[in-house]
């Protein structure tokens, strides 16, 4: 007999987490209503879901993108290290809560990967690498 893993959908999980955030249901009630195991729901609540969280809001991220483009336009060769450093500098400038490395003053490689995934124009144009 094959195992039946995850009979719930991502939409169910998202709806259950939204109901919990609004305070409409308890964890047990949301798990029962949306057919999600309680431990699974608790795990996703504790970990903050499965989305990547950036320290920047849209305006600040736009400022970072404009800074990167400005560097590219003046002929400065952009590297992943430069983008990571600029992200760290911007976080410090806006006094944002972040988990970047304060000792070396760089954003993480995972952050860079997700940033470039959200801004593929830097990979296809002359701006980077």
DSSP 49: -
Which pLDDT score is estimated for 87? 94
Residues 85 and 42 in one domain: no
* Ramachandran class of 105: left when φ > 0, alpha when ψ lies in -120 to 50, beta otherwise: left
Which pLDDT score is estimated for 106? 94
Residue 32 lies in a domain: yes
Structure tokens that stand for 111 in this block: 């952050």
Q: What does the alpha-carbon distance between residue 87 and residue 55 come to, in Å, rounded to a whole number?
A: 9
Residues 68 and 116 in one domain: yes
Residue 33 lies in a domain: yes
Which pLDDT score is estimated for 64? 92
At CA 57, angle to CA 51 and CA 60, rounded to 5? 135
CA proximity to 97, closest of 50, 62, 53, 66: 53
Domain span at residue 81 reads 58-124
This prediction has a pTM of 0.59
Total domain count, the chain: 2
pLDDT means per 10 residues, the chain with 129 residues, are: 72 88 90 92 78 80 91 84 93 89 92 87 61
Q: What does the alpha-carbon distance between residue 88 and residue 86 come to, in Å, rounded to a whole number?
A: 5
Residues 67 and 35 in one domain: no
Residues 24 and 77 in one domain: no
Residue 5 lies in a domain: no
Which pLDDT score is estimated for 38? 92
The answer to whether the beta carbons of residues 44 and 50 sit under 8 Å apart is yes
């Amino acid at each position: 007999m094959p195992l039946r893993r995850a009979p719930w959908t991502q939409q169910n999980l998202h709806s259950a987490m939204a109901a919990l955030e609004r305070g409409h249901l308890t964890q047990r009630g949301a798990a029962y209503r949306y057919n999600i195991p309680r431990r699974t729901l608790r795990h996703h609540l504790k970990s903050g879901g499965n989305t990547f969280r950036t320290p920047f809001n849209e305006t600040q991220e736009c400022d970072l993108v404009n800074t990167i483009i400005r560097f590219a336009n003046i002929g400065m060769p952009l590297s992943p290290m430069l983008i990571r450093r600029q992200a760290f500098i911007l976080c410090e400038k806006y006094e944002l809560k972040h988990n970047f490395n304060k000792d070396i003053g760089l954003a993480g490689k995972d952050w860079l990967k997700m940033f470039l995934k959200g801004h593929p124009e830097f990979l296809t144009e002359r701006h980077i690498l």
